[in-house]
Amino acid sequence: MSESSQNKVDFYGRDYLVSPDVLIPRPETEMMVDTVLNLVGKPFLPGIKPSKAELPENLTIVDVGTGSGCIAVTLKLLLPQAKVVATDISDKALGVAKKNASALGAEVEFLQSDLLDDVRIKPDLIVANLPYVDENWEWVDKEALSKEPALALYAKDGGLELIFKLIDQAVEQEVYHLVLEADPCQHERIVQYAKEKDLTLGETRGFSLYFSE
Ligand SMILES: C[S@@+](CC[C@H](N)C(=O)[O-])C[C@H]1O[C@@H](n2cnc3c(N)ncnc32)[C@H](O)[C@@H]1O
């Protein structure tokens, strides 16, 4: 695809290249970044009192389902001491994410993986905005979404199949800090599922949920 047929979209104050291979970054996803910054005691907005840091600034973060790379790149630029690994099952999405990291000067590592299957490091924190739209939701404008890859949007089991699988894998690998995005109508089920895995809800911020031990 030529550069002219690609677009740029703002995320957390920076322009990201997008193509038909990636989800267009959404404003609600910026709240996942806010949540991570608060976890390390570094709120982005002036005037917000830093919370007690639950995690160190030099933490290792894995962004699962990175798409355009918007979350991973933003976190690496705002937390330069952190190691940030961005994964996606889609090779084409990773291509776009790599371009964004390079254009914005973010040293992010990239890895193709189905969820955590090929992730060999143990992160301190997982962030994931995975597909969570259920194909049967009648209130979704499918026509509008048809310009984005189905792989980035849809999941089975009320949209929660991949989120639940990721929670299972994280707990198996003893990773107990997770920031996840889902539609608010799904939060109750996710909180219940995480509770069964001994994870506790730390905070809800818009679409994002933070779980810890
Ligand atoms: C909702 S998009 C989010 C993209 C980006 N993180 C954002 O917030 O804009 C979900 C991403 O997850 C990827 N994905 C889908 N299934 C996956 C899987 N099993 N393992 C890893 N990534 C997956 C898709 O290719 C897509 O890039």
Note the pLDDT tens digit of each residue in 46-90: 777 777 889 999 999 999 999 999 999 999 999 999 999 999 999
Q: What is the CA(18)–ligand 1 centre distance, in A? A: 14
Q: How confident is the model at residue 171 (pLDDT cuts 50, 70, 90)?
A: very high
Is the C-beta atom of 67 inside 6 A of ligand 1? yes
Cα 95 to Cα 99: distance, rounded to the nearest angstrom? 6
Domain boundaries, the chain: 3-212
pLDDT of residue 6: 60
Q: Is the pLDDT of residue 2 over 80?
A: no
Q: CB within 8 A of 148, min separation 6: which ones?
A: 20, 22, 23, 24
Q: Is the pLDDT of residue 1 over 50?
A: no
| pTM score, whole prediction | 0.96
| pLDDT-above-90 percentage for the chain | 91
Is the C-beta atom of 71 inside 6 A of ligand 1? yes
Atom index in ligand 1 nearest the CA of residue 181 equals 8
Q: Is the pLDDT of residue 96 over 60?
A: yes
Is the C-beta atom of 148 inside 6 A of ligand 1? no
For ligand 1, atom 27, the nearest C-alpha belongs to: 67
Is the C-beta atom of 161 inside 6 A of ligand 1? no
Question: What is 3-212's CATH number?
Answer: 3.40.50.150
Average pLDDT across the chain, whole number:
95
Q: How far is CA 28 from the centre of its chain?
A: 11
Q: How confident is the model at residue 210 (pLDDT cuts 50, 70, 90)?
A: very high
Pull the structure tokens for residue 162: 């991949």
Q: What is the mean pLDDT of residues 160-184?
A: 98
Atom index in ligand 1 nearest the CA of residue 153 equals 1
| pLDDT-above-70 percentage for the chain | 97
Q: How confident is the model at residue 5 (pLDDT cuts 50, 70, 90)?
A: very low
